Structure 1
Amino acid sequence: MVQAKRNSTALKFSVGEAIQIKKAHFKVHRLVGDEVYLEQEETSHIKQFNMHDIIDLYFDGQIRLGEWRQVAGNDNWQRPFSSFTERDQKAALRTEAYLKAVHEAMPDKLNDRKIDVIVKSVNPADKGMSSRQIRRWLVRWLNAGKDIKAVVPGNRFKGNRTERHPSLLNDFIKEAIDEVYLDRTRGTVEATYLYVRKWIKAYNKSLSDFEHMPIPSRSTLYKKIEKLDPYEKALKREGKEIADKIFEPIFSMKRATRPMQIVQVDHTKADIMVTVKGKITVQRVWLTLAIDQYSRVVVGFHLSLKDPSFNSLASCLKHMIRPKTNYRKEWPCFGCAEEILVDNGADFHSTAFQDLCATLGSNLRYCEAARGRQKPHVERFFKSLNHRLFHLLPGTTFESPLKRGDYNSVEQAVIDFDSMVQILEEHIAIDYNKKWHRGINDSPLNAWNKGVELYPVNVPSSVADLDLIFAHSRKQVVSRQGVEINCTHYNSNKLNDLYARHVGEKGKKFVIKYNPDDMTKVWVQDPASGLYIEAYCLDHDSIDGITYDDQKRAMAQVQLQRKKVEEQYFDELPTENLSDKFKVGRLREKSTRKPRRLPNDKAVLGPRNTPDNFDGFLGIDGPVEDVFEDPADPYDDGSRVITEDDGFEDFYLNQPDQDD
């Protein structure tokens, strides 16, 4: 019907044609040049429109040509033609061919004989349609603006619309579906049917044979379950989270227009077992990965034997910022991300990670809770990486025990951790970056190179700042010896000056930063200026090339050796006269106590509390020499006695005078 392009006045109308403008219904009253007079159905008022205004309204989507309201019970106009079944589409095309031929031959007045002749001429092999059918379909077709959807058969509206079962039986079936099928235990249709039978039989026991309620067939129950709303069915059987994942519409996500504009970061447990320390232990590895949303290039990753943490994230971002020196041509990706997209893991919400992103100038954005599909590119890469790499290597765990079968992943693991890092680097640089990616219709490497030509990436202000930015933090006390980490001391002149300024603040802790991969120096923050002071290892040569984890392992070995030595020492101690040793020790402790004083601060002196009577003072009988002799003591030759050198006489001689 519309035979015009935009900004043209060649829209073709006929008097009496129905037009819907917004929600108002009109009919063409008359046409005068470029002016169109429309009669509003509700009020019968005549409104004048210019053809240019009609065209603008049409292309703005505010005008619908044709009158769909006359097609009773038909909602076809709301659906695209391709949504109908293939059978209905063929029937509509066949009917439209007849209607076009009849309308072209008889645009004004219809003749039944001519209609039969025209129908046979369109398709001689087809039985065709009767003139009565042609008239009925022609009215619908013309009123709908010659829209083919008006002649789609309404087969879905056919059939019995009344309920054939008693209302009480329907209530039984509905309650059985709610109790069994729509329960979180996810009962089967068979279990629901048995429940209905049992319920009806119990109900019929108190009734006569004439009043018995009929037992429905299984097909009846199947049909009622099929008519349930799919979302409600999933909501009650699976829960809201699963139902939302299945039926919630996926809208287009925020689009990246340049490299490093949006970087998606996430963790996964890789489907591979690696050996550690020459196959002493076998363990699965964790992969932390950052992928550029624009080019789909992997811009950084970190492989670890430990669970995900801030350390994993910091190492991944550090790898992202630095160039990949082993594959400069195949993997020329580095720089800071403008925005980092992550999920709601605890490590992503840590203050340390938020501070790190702020320091790098990266905006941190979180996905909605339980909406992993909002960062689909990194999730999809994890799946592809497992299938294309890890599942092809010895020691793979596959994606499920069912697919793993009797494959022993632990016994087959032969790749050590360091080799796994190299294999992953080579796979990303040589295989993935150069392979065609259908999501961007290009290879990730080409997309990256084209993007950075127009939009260069950002980097930190100085490379020297990277070590400090990614250093790990802790708080501890600074002493005259400097800072101690894992029994290793760090000090410098500036650090001594800092200690001297705060020497009176006992127990004050300072922020210490250290690089876990290089423990030759640390940084200590000056609280006054906020700047960091460098402190170097006092024994630089012995610690060069040693990491923080190496130090911890060495300390663990030292502690283990210490425990063994102490256990051996206590096992070899002589057990004779141990009670006498403990008794002497208690006596020595008592001997250092001051005498009891009266309220007037005068010492209590008496026959058992005088310097001349040591026996009475110690509260023992017999000579003092006999008590302190200890032949069993390997450090005593048995001749030790209490003398003035032990301090007893000096203690009493130095007591203040009672008259003072």
Structure 2
Amino acid sequence: MRYLDPNSTLRLTEGDYTICEIAGRMYTLRNINTGEYRNVSMDWIVPRLTEPPKRIEADPRQLDNISDDDRPELMFWAGHLNEMETGRKNPSDTEAPVNPDYDPATVKLEDRVSKKSAELTKLGRTVSVSTLYRKRKKYKDGGLAALIDNRTIRTEGPLDRADERWLTCLKEVITAQTNESTRTANALLAIARKRLKDQYPGEVIPTGSRATQYRQFNYLASGKYTTGTAKQRRERAVTPKRPFGDSRKYAPGELVEIDSTTLDCPVIDSEGHITRPILTQMVDVCTGTIIAHSFRLEAAKAVDHAFLLAQAMTPRAMRPGANTAWRTLQKRFPWVDLVSEEERTELDQHRPFIVPSAITVDHGTDYTGTTFEAACRKWGVDLLYAAPAQGTDKPHVERAFRTVKDGFVQYLAMFTGGSPANRGRTEGEYEALDLVSLDLLYDEWVTRVYQNRPSDSLIDPFHPGISLSPNEMYAACFNVKGKPPVAIEAVDYIELLPTEFRVITANGIQYNNRFYDSLGLHKLRIAPKRVDENGRPDNKVEFRANPYDPRAIWVKGPDGEWIEAAWRHQGVINEPHSTAVAAEARRIIRASDTRRDDHHFEDLTLEILSQTSDTVIAQSKARARAAEALKQAEIAGTPFQAPTTVAIPVPPKADVVAPDDLNYDEVDYFEGMDL
């Protein structure tokens, strides 16, 4: 413990003072030079001391760092020093008798120290008198912790004695490995040694033993995943080298993050090919809610993100055809555990409706496209661009992708494990979903599971042990938003859907190998034909299509209105066994080894026809040679002998018996064996 000596001079930054009076925490000081008195508190004195009281060097917490093997040695010295000072090895045991050889009342300190030195020498510990004096002083000043031999707890870093030039080369190699393919520590150390020789030719620079080099490498590469995966190195390299701040938002929609990732669950496209889908989703930072999502089989474009904005600004129940698409999923996949229509309606009512005020995006061309920017500008949404190659600028949506993988994707039958090392051998044994079904199932999972599962990132700051779900966080922060948002109308939703152009034929409009038609399209069929700037006919019409709802498309009419054109073969979904037949057909196609592309059958056709042509030509040449030989034989007077023919005897024709002349008694009937 530190104390102020009332008899000594206090040397403060304001001058030298003496203590005249002490009353609790208040001190009366007198300036030695001016004689001025002042009443101050202890809080005022301590920070103004030019010579602070001596601090105890021993740290009591070091007692926690010593090993169990060193503790008996420490207690040995404490007992002997206590005995030398008080006559008892345990001063707190006042009932124990005092050793007369070390009784401070009768034996001088010098004699006690000399006797203790002789006693320890007899015990096999040669300790000089000066050493005992030094240990006694340390024990009095710092207690038991002062007796710790700091050499036993001293930690020397692996870089303390290394040559700085060698460490520089090693650091350069580790830093350069960030964007390189993964190498072993042995290879990187060899590269560092070669770099050292190249930079300092002819100089002998010590690098230490092999074990020392490995210790230095592990110390410098700690936390950088130098020998880990390349993805881990890149992620750690872009992590900001600064303390993280609190990015918590308290208003739903105040900040929304958007990003894309490729899922590890192959799906089947419209042509029957297996491919991996790309998931793009919007995540609200305040509540962690997935307010919109989309699946693509190719890189998303700006118009696709405009469709995301349409989802975010329109509740699911208000989207055109949403309930019809959900019922279609029920009919196609009766084995999927879907809720009833009443429960679905209730879940939709509890799912947060969040309109984004600002969206954080990266610098991809799909986000900087004029279509997406124009859609955001139309609805008053601010675009915030993240720093290049800084995934930490969108941490919430990145964390949501991990939740999607762990909570949804890995439970799909077509899950591929996430890496070649985790991939199984069951590829092709399970039925793949199409994009529409995957979208509807994912939306069902988000509504029922994700939005109601507590998240560790949504916690009460004053009670960190309490986690909230996105729906609960939305309910808690709803009143902070102020004015509640209003959903856009169906017309606005349609205008934000992806745009396509097609020609209206007698069968309607063909889109994604489906035909769409409506009575309202008749006026577009008979409309005057347009021409483009080059004078060529331009009969294409503009329409909008929801990529996850094949039920209908919306065609732009001549007056700017939207004409709904239904899928002509939509009724096939309601046919019994249609899903089972389609699944069996795809299974047969995958199992068949006779499937070929169109070029194979074209080549096969030409091969068949060429063989027929070759046969006809060969027969014609043979007949010509025979005719020429016959002609030459007639000229030479040696005509060919005509081929002789052998008559084949014809069996006499049996008399046909009329049915009326049959004698059934003469007919032999077959008598079967007794069974």
Q: What TM-score range do you get, normalising by the shorter chain?
A: 0.5 to 0.7
| Counterparts of 2:390 and 2:194, CA distance in 1 | 43
Answering whether residue 375 of structure 2 is matched by residue 356 of structure 1, we say yes
Aligned-pair distance for 1:399?
Answer: 0.6
Deviation at 1:328, TM superposition (A): 4.0
The aligned counterpart of 1:322 is: 314
Separation in 1 of the partners of 2:7 and 2:568? 92
1:340 aligns with 2:359: yes
Residue 369 of structure 1 corresponds to which residue in structure 2? Answer: 388
Q: Which residue pairs with 2:104 in the alignment? A: none
Aligned to 2:423: 404
Q: Determine if contact 2:74/2:148 at 8 Å carries over to the other structure.
A: no
Q: Distance in 2 between matches of 1:161 and 1:377?
A: 38
User: Alignment length, in residue pairs?
Assistant: 461
1:509-528 to 2 correspondences below 5 Å: 515-517=544-546, 520-522=554-556
Tell me if the contact between 2:314 and 2:487 (Cα under 8 Å) persists in the aligned partners. no
> Higher relative contact order at CA 8 Å, sep ≥6: structure 1 or structure 2?
2
Deviations 1:337-379 (A, max 9, x none): 1222223322222232222222222222222222212322221
AA of the residue aligned to 1:535: G
Q: For 1:36-75, list aligned pairs within 5 A.
A: 36=27, 50-51=40-41, 54=44, 67=52
- Is 2:553 the partner of 1:535? no
| Offset, 1:263 | 1.8
The equivalent position to 2:472 in structure 1, one of 436, 446, 451, is 446
* Structure 1 position 425, deviation (Å): 1.4
AA matched with 2:301: S
- Correspondence 1:579-658 to 2 at 5 A: none
1:556-575 counterparts in 2 under 5 A?
Answer: none
Structure 1 counterpart of 2:244: 251
Name the counterpart of 1:433: 451
Deviations 1:510-569 (A, max 9, x none): xx985334764438xxxxxxxxx94358xx68x45599xxxxxxxxxxxx9xxx9xxxxx
Helix, strand or coil for the counterpart of 1:535?
A: coil
2:85 matched residue in structure 1? 113
Query: Which whole-Å CA distance do the structure 1 matches of 2:353 and 2:272 have between them?
Result: 36
Q: Conserved in 2, the CA contact under 8 Å of 1:265 and 1:288?
A: yes
Describe the superposition over 1:620-651 as per-residue Cα deviations: whole angstroms up to 9, x where unpaired.
xxxxxxxxxxxxxxxxxxxxxxxxxxxxxxxx
Alpha carbons of 1:418 and 1:462: their partners in 2 closer, same or farther (altered >3 Å)? closer
Q: CA deviation at 1:178?
A: 6.9
Q: Deviation string for 1:93-152 (max 9, x for gaps)?
A: 999999xxxxxxxxxxx9962396555649x9xx9x9885463255468xxxxxx99999
Match of 1:433, SS state, is helix
Aligned to 1:584: none
- For structure 2, the 5+ residue unaligned runs are 77-81, 97-119, 121-130, 318-322, 324-343, 459-466, 502-508, 547-551, 570-597, 603-675
Query: Following the alignment from structure 2 to structure 1, what is the Cα–Cα distance between the partners of residues 302 and 426?
Result: 34
Q: Specify the alignment match of 1:386 in structure 2.
A: 405
Q: Unpaired runs of 5+ in structure 1?
A: 3-11, 99-109, 142-147, 207-211, 476-483, 524-532, 548-559, 565-660
- Counterpart Cα distance in 2 of 1:200 and 1:369: 34
Indicate how the Cα distance of structure 1 residues 433 and 14 shifts in structure 2: closer, same or farther if over 3 A, else same: farther
Whole-angstrom distance in 2 between the partners of 1:179 and 1:405? 39
1:421 aligns with 2:446: no
Tell me the secondary structure at the aligned position of residue 329 of structure 1.
Answer: helix
Write the letter of the residue equivalent to 1:522.
K
Query: How far apart in 2 are the matches of 1:472 and 1:200?
Result: 58
Q: Deviations over 1:258-310 (max 9, x none)?
A: 22222221111121112234x72222212111122222222121122232221
Q: Distance in 1 between matches of 2:68 and 2:309?
A: 58
- Alignment CA distance shift 1:449-1:192 (3 Å): closer
Question: 2:657 matched to which residue of 1?
Answer: none
Q: Superposition RMSD on alpha carbons, in Å?
A: 6.4
Out of 267, 274, 282, the residue aligned to residue 267 of structure 2 is: 274
- Verify: 1:87 aligned to 2:116, yes or no: no
> Are residue 263 (structure 1) and residue 256 (structure 2) matched?
yes
2:333 corresponding residue in structure 1: none
Superposed counterparts of 1:101-500, under 5 Å: 113-114=85-86, 117=89, 121=93, 132-133=134-135, 135-136=137-138, 139=141, 154-155=150-151, 158=154, 177=170, 184=177, 188=184, 190=186, 217-225=209-217, 228=220, 244-245=237-238, 248-277=241-270, 280-325=272-317, 327-331=344-348, 332-408=351-427, 410=428, 412-440=430-458, 441-453=467-479, 455=481, 458-459=484-485, 463=489, 466-467=492-493, 470=496
**Counterpart in 1 of 2:116?**
none
Q: In 2 relative to 1, CA 336–171 (structure 1 residues): closer, same or farther, beyond 3 Å?
A: closer
> Do 2:499 and 2:544's aligned partners in 1 also have CA atoms closer than 8 Å?
no
TM-score, normalization by structure 2? 0.51
Give the secondary structure class of the aligned counterpart of 1:429.
helix
Counterpart code for 1:516: A
Conserved in 2, the CA contact under 8 Å of 1:467 and 1:515? no
Deviation of the 1:256 alpha carbon: 0.8
Answer whether contact 1:20 1:67 (CA < 8 A) is retained.
no
- 3-state SS, counterpart of residue 439 of structure 1: strand
CA–CA separation in structure 2 for the residues paired with 1:138 and 1:411: 78
Residues 198 and 289 of structure 1: CA distance in aligned 2, closer, same or farther (over 3 Å)? closer
Q: Percent identity?
A: 16
CA apart distance, 1:257: 0.7
Between the aligned partners of 1:48 and 1:116, the Cα distance in structure 2 is: 48
Deviation at 1:389, TM superposition (A): 1.8
SS at 2:266's partner residue?
A: strand
The alpha-carbon deviation at position 458 of structure 1 amounts to: 4.4
Cα distance between partner residues in 2 of 1:195 and 1:275: 47
Question: Aligned partners of 1:330, 1:270: CA distance in 2, in Å?
Answer: 26
- C-alpha distance in 2, partners of 1:333/1:224? 53
Q: 1:307 aligns to what SS in structure 2?
A: coil
CA 1:24/1:300 → structure 2, altered by over 3 Å: closer, same or farther? farther
Is the Cα contact below 8 Å between 1:270 and 1:284 reproduced in 2? yes
Work out whether residues 304 and 498 of structure 2, in 8 Å CA contact, stay in contact via their aligned partners in 1: no
Q: Relative to structure 1, is the Cα distance of residues 158 and 251 closer, same or farther in structure 2, using a 3 angstrom cutoff?
A: closer
Alignment-mate amino acid for residue 454 of structure 2:
W
Change in CA separation of 1:224 and 1:420 when aligned onto 2, cut-off 3 Å? closer
